[in-house]
Structures are given as C-alpha cells and as structure tokens.
Amino acid sequence: MTPADLSRTVLGAVRRAVEEGALRAPVPERIKVERPRPGGRGDYASNVALRLAGPSGRQARDVAEVLRVRIADTPGIARVEITGPGFLNFTLRGNPAAVLLRAIGDRGLEYGHGDGLAGVRFGFEPARELRARVVTDTVVRLLAAQGATAVVEPGSSERITALPVQDEAIFEHAGRDAALWALLRPAAHDQPLAYGALLVQKESNALFRVRYAYSRSRALLRAADRLGIPVAYDGGIPYDEDVSCVGDVPHDGNVACDGGASHVGDLSLAHDAYEGPFPSRSVRGTEGPLPSGPARGTEAPSALLTALGDHPAVLESAARLRAPDRVARHLEATADALLGFQQTVLPLGDEKPSATHRSRLALAEAAGTVLAGGLALLGISAPEHL
C-alpha cells in the first residue's frame, strides 16, 4: 500500500462513517498522510480526526476511534493506533519503501496520475496574455492526469488569470524550459521569475538543480551498469524517521559535473559516479568546488521516500487548485533530497556491492522517474546529460 492508497483508504472510511450516520461532518476532498512526528508510531500518520472534531461536535479521539474500526481490517494495513489528542497512526504490512518503489516502477512517468476526477469536465476560456495561456495549458494537463476532461474553448465558465509577464518574447530570449519555469514556478498572483538567473547552471538556480538531479539519477544507473550492479529493491533501505537529508547539501555554491564515465577500471568508475569536484569536467558556467556534504553513509533516505510518496497528492492538489507552482516546489524538494542522498548509492574503494547498494540504486532510479514525470507535466524537458 502506497501513501496515495492509504490516503484513499482513510477518505473512504470517512465517507462510510458519514453515510452510516456514525459521524456528522463534511467529507473532505482529500486526506493527507505523512511520516509520524515525534511521539507517533508506525509508518504513516494522519490528523484527519482532529480536522473533523470541530464540525462533528465530538472529541478528536472519539472521531479517530470511529475511523480506526473502519480501517483496521483493510488489506495491507497491519495495525491502526490512536496517539496524542487523536492522531491516527498506521503500520503497513510488508516494507512500505518496497511497495512505493514498485508502484513507481510499474507506473513510470505516469506515477501520481489518478482517476479522482474521472467523468468531470472542465472548460477554460482562452487567455490572451502569455503567462495566463501557459498556466491554463499546464492546468489542463494536470487535470487530464487526474482523469478529468479539460478543454480550452470560447464561452467556457472558468478563466485563469495570472500576473502578466513583461517580456512577451521570453520564450525566444530564454528558451522553452527556462521560460516555462519562470512563468510557472511562482504562484499565478506573484511576479514571474527573472529568467536571466535560470540560464546560469548553479545550485542557486532551482531549475538547474531539478534537471541536474534527474541527470545524476541516470548517471548513477549508467555507472552501476558498468559495475554490474543491478537495480533491485532488496529491503536494504530503512524507512526511518530521520529526515535530515533535506538541505544536507548546501545550495550556495556550484555543482561539479556528471561523472559516471570513467575508463580507468571499476574502482575509478565507482568513485567518478558521484564524487567531486572535477574542475576539468565542471559544468559550463560553474566555478569552484561542490560544497562539502555530510559524511558518506549519514544521509537518510527517508526524506526522499517521503517526497516520492507525496507526489500523487501534490499532483492532485495542483490540479484541483489550478496551481502548477505546487508541482514545481515539490520537484525542488525531491531534487534536493536526491542530491543529499546520491553520494551513498554506489560502493567506494574496497566496499563490495550489496543489497543495500541495489536498493539505494532503485530509490535513485525512482526519484529520477518522478522528476522526469513532474517536469513533463510542466512541459519542461529532463536531459539525461547535463
């Protein structure tokens, strides 16, 4: 059971409780599940009972119990517990990380697409201003990815507006990818980004970080192939509660280039796949070394697993709220988590390839898939080499 599956399961329990008269409260459009906070238990938690306590006129723990009994026997869920003022905590059967990575592998670039809006039709009035047109076209793609029928045609009931872009020739001046990011990354009511900074390949450039993270995932796969390490989730990644890998790699410097193509033997190849800096092969437009990150082996994968698990909910909320900027922000978080984790993926020195390396490689591959799929929904390319 993936986080998206669990979210739908909890939502179904709320709906059944309301239909049966056990709970008098409005049914929310969606329910978020997340990693348990300190004091929580299991694999995931939800505050849905606290949210429904006020509208239902009942104590949050009472609401949680109403939902717990309707969830406890669900296949894939081993245990449902109530903690604190009324948090629902879920322990899943099997390894949740393995289930998540398998789901991403099965769906590929369409991981996160759903049918929550199937059978619903949305019509948008054609926009005259450039940025509004770009946002409208992107929202149409996001809605279609959630099963809706979305069209742009005159006389439609919905019109998307956005703070206009001053440079109507931004696509000619910045190129398609930078122009789209400049227009879509800020919320529609905020100013578009200045595209000049998006043309410099530095870590301060979020678009570069996202696309670079994708290219790193592909470089790791190429290096692993040369080393004879298969991609296979063997349970070597603990789904622990340490989320310290987000932000572990500082973002005030420049990025060394893609390695992964050494011809000086396996040891050099493994080292070359992710260690830097290599000034002679640095990315065009960069200077100086890669900022030093944490010691090898200390980067926890849980932040990356959390980001991958959140992807379906982010895509759905972005579609419902007409907010492509949510997708862009989530891609940044996913990229940062991958860049903080990638140095642990392949063996170094005399280290022998193990199930842990195969599992880390599977996680890096899944992260690359999510990054590419999210960029595609924004209309932005994901280069294998950068």
Note down pLDDT in tens along the chain; length 386 residues.
Answer: 889 899 999 999 999 999 999 999 999 988 989 888 888 889 999 999 999 999 999 999 999 999 999 999 999 999 999 999 999 999 998 888 888 999 999 999 999 999 989 999 999 999 999 999 999 999 999 999 999 999 999 999 999 999 999 999 999 999 999 999 999 999 999 999 999 999 999 999 999 999 999 999 999 999 999 999 998 876 655 544 333 222 232 333 333 333 333 222 332 333 333 333 322 222 223 233 333 344 444 345 888 998 999 999 999 999 999 999 999 999 999 999 999 999 999 998 888 999 989 999 999 999 999 999 999 999 999 999 98
pLDDT, residue 96, reads 86
Specify the long-range contacts of residues 265-268, CB closer than 8 Å, at least 24 apart.
266/226, 266/227, 267/349
Single-letter code of the amino acid located at 234: D
By the 8 A CB rule, do 377 and 145 touch? yes
pLDDT at residue number 95: 85
| One-letter amino acid for residue 276 of the chain | G
In 3D space, the residue among 36, 10, 15, 40 whose CA is nearest the CA of residue 25 turns out to be: 15
Angstrom distance (rounded) from CA 365 to CA 374: 14
pLDDT in the model for residue 38:
82
Read off the amino acid at residue 163. Answer: L
pLDDT at 1: 87
DSSP 290: P
Task: State how far the Cα of 68 lies from the Cα of 87, in Å rounded to an integer.
Answer: 10
**Which residues sit opposite 34 in a β-bridge?**
45
Name the one residue in this structure whose structure tokens are 């009324």.
86
In this prediction, residue 238 carries a pLDDT of 53
Query: Would you say 205 and 332 are in contact if contact means Cβ atoms under 8 Å apart?
Result: no
Query: Between the CA of residue 306 and those of 42, 43, 96, 376, what are the distances in Å?
Result: 14, 11, 11, 21
Alpha carbon 296 to chain centroid, angstroms = 24
- How, if at all, do strands 87-92 and 44-46 pair? antiparallel
